Structures are given as C-alpha cells and as structure tokens.
Amino acid sequence: MKGTHVSSGMELITLGTAAGPAIRGPEGGIASAVVIGDVFYLVDFGLGVTRAAHAAGLRGNRFRAGFLSHLHSDHIGELPGFLLWNWGPPVDGFTEPVTLIGPGADPGRGHGGCGLAGTRQLVAGLLDAFSYDLHIREADEARPSMADLLRVEELTPDRIADAEAQPFPVYEDDRVRVTAVLVDHPPVFPAFGFRFDSDHGSITFSGDTAESVALSRLAVGTDILVHEAVNLGFYAAAGFDAAFVNHQRISHTTPAGAGRVAEAAGAKQLVLSHLAGVAEPDYWETEAAGTFSGSVQVARSGDRFPVRDSRSAAIGPV
C-alpha cells in the first residue's frame, strides 16, 4: 500500500518477519508496528524497516516511540536509517520528541559482558557517527536538532531486579500503556517481551526467547501474541556447528513451543514471526496449531492484523 494509512482502531503490521542476521529468503528483517488511530509505535528495527514502514504509510510525523527487545544486530541494525529517513519537515518526519526504550548496559550476567553498551550509548554513538550529516541538515534545511528530539530510556538491571518474572510498566501516553517482562534469550541479558494495551485491545511481543512462563504471564488474555519461532531441524540437517545449533535450541522457541505459550496465556490469536531457519508455511502453522487451540497465522512482511473484538468472525491478515 502506498501513501498515508490511518487505522481506525488498533492494528499490528509485521513490517519484517525474518530472523537474522543471515539472509535466507525475501522477508525483511524483524520489525513490527503497532498502529493506534493516527499514531504508531515500533518494536525492533531490523533490516528493511525504513522502506517497509514507508510502504505501509507510516510517516515519521506519526511516530511516538520505539522499543528494542534486545541489542542483537538483527533487531537494531536499521535504527539509524529509520531515524535519519523519518526526521524533520522535508520528509514528513518527526519534529516533536520521540521515545526510544531498550536494555541498559549489560551487567555481565552469564557471559562476562560487563561494560558493553546499552541503548543510551547506542543512540549516543549513532548521533556521533552521523554528526556531519545531522549538523549540515539542521543548518542547511532548518531541521530540528535530532539530539533534542530523542528521549532514550533504559531498562536497567536495578529497575527490573524485583520483577524478573513479573510484568512491569515501561511507557504510557494518551493512546497506549506498555508493559514488559524479562524473557530467556541466553547469553543475552537483559532481553524483553512487550505488551501494548489500548482502548481497542492488546498486542504482545515475545522478542527473542526460549519458552517463557513469564511471557505467558505478560500475554494473559491478549488479543494477538506475536511470537518468534525456530525450525531446529533446518540447522541440524544443514550441518551447522553444534554450538550454533545448541544456541538455537536454548535461546529460541519451536512453533510448538510458541503454541504452548499462547495456550497458557489464553491468547486469542498467535502470529508467528522472526522465523529462524527455512521451512514451508504449513510447517510453522501445523506445529503451532498442534499445541494451541486458537487461530494461528504465519506472518509475512507487510501483513496487517487488526485487533478485533470477540464479535468479529474473521481473524487474520488483511
């Protein structure tokens, strides 16, 4: 769809559905939009999100906040591009402050990562790396200072210490309330799932995670659960190193596992995204449907999933 698109309620757009950073098919890198009326929010900024958001009619002047589930490159790699292509009046970009929320600095839990950059340092480095372009455009094109428009909030270990298995609030405005929970994506820590609640319903995102009881708590009764899925058989059959296959096994969720999480949560609909490994669509859907009694959809880049109440007959992408 071209041009500006305004949702009348609450809508999920799966801008990109591929795991990464390997490219194994035509789908864009992982990125999702939550659209509520005339504003939108982004969860992760994978490869291709800038063009995909534009194609979906999402302009920067409608962007409210972005959420980083964790700091793996396939989830943050195109954050610079999205900001630079959606900033200032010449491109219908943001001219009012926007919020970016993501993990704080890694405390070294599990893999000696102490001292590595968190979201605040990531954004500061972005501003420094593109300082030439930013300065020129602010002076020559009368664009507002990007540094003044970015409100960065970190989900730090001290903030989440008392809530490791329970949802906690991270963001709220006049359209939405967002809560988060720690999920299991070793050796990455912290990694988060996010839930968006509005007057129209709710959408929950797993982020990257193994099967998570905490995520089931976050997603209780949600209208749409967007959950990652991995085809372990693909990596084993393709001869990947045993350590890599083990990472996939302990850090991600099979489609059957995603179905179990959705069933435990009582989710109304399960949307599989961040698909790791190669498989036919029927594989993902059949495996998840075997453990989940609700509707299962296998997302493609650009699919739209409106949040519909229980009186709606059809559920699925439009």
Q: Write the CATH number for 27.
A: 3.60.15.10
Do 166 and 172 touch, CB atoms closer than 8 A?
no
pLDDT at 283 over 80: yes
Instruction: Tell whether 312 is covered by a domain.
Output: no
Do 209 and 191 touch, CB atoms closer than 8 A?
yes
178/67 Cα distance (integer angstroms)? 10
pLDDT at 1 over 50: no
Mean pLDDT across 290-302: 97
- Give me the residue label for tokens 């059959």: 237
Strand partners, 182: 192
Mean pLDDT across 129-147: 97
Do 215 and 261 touch, CB atoms closer than 8 A?
yes
Q: How many CB atoms lie within 10 A of CB 214?
A: 18
Mean pLDDT across 53-66: 98
Question: Which phi and psi (to 5°) does residue 283 adopt?
Answer: -60, -50
Task: List pLDDT tens digits, range 198-241.
Answer: 999 999 999 999 999 999 999 999 999 999 999 999 999 999 99
233/284 Cα distance (integer angstroms)? 12
Instruction: Tell whether 143 is covered by a domain.
Output: yes
Do 203 and 175 touch, CB atoms closer than 8 A?
no
308/295 Cα distance (integer angstroms)? 13
Closest to 156 (Cα-Cα) out of 142, 170, 143, 144: 170
193/205 Cα distance (integer angstroms)? 5
> What is the Cα Rg of the chain in Å?
19
pLDDT at 315 over 60: no
**Spatial CB neighbours of 247, under 8 Å, sequence gap ≥ 6:** none
**Alpha helices (H) in the chain, listed in sequence order:** 49-55, 73-76, 79-85, 119-129, 131-140, 146-149, 157-160, 213-218, 232-237, 242-251, 255-265, 281-289
96/105 Cα distance (integer angstroms)? 27
Instruction: Tell whether 305 is covered by a domain.
Output: no
pLDDT level of residue 3 (50, 70, 90 thresholds): very low
Strand partners, 40: 35, 63
Do 79 and 48 touch, CB atoms closer than 8 A?
no
pTM, rounded to two decimals: 0.93
Name the residue range of residue 119's domain.
Answer: 10-298
Instruction: Tell whether 212 is covered by a domain.
Output: yes
Instruction: Tell whether 220 is covered by a domain.
Output: yes
Strand partners, 66: 42, 100
Instruction: Tell whether 34 is covered by a domain.
Output: yes
pLDDT at 10 over 80: yes
pLDDT at 157: 61
What does DSSP say about strands 168-172 and 177-182: parallel, antiparallel, or unpaired?
antiparallel
Instruction: Tell whether 30 is covered by a domain.
Output: yes
**Spatial CB neighbours of 217, under 8 Å, sequence gap ≥ 6:** 165, 166, 167, 181, 265
pLDDT at 310 over 60: no
Do 62 and 14 touch, CB atoms closer than 8 A?
no
pLDDT level of residue 313 (50, 70, 90 thresholds): very low
What does DSSP say about strands 63-67 and 98-103: parallel, antiparallel, or unpaired?
parallel
Split into its structural domains, the chain has a count of 1
Count of all residues that appear for the chain in the document? 318
101/23 Cα distance (integer angstroms)? 27
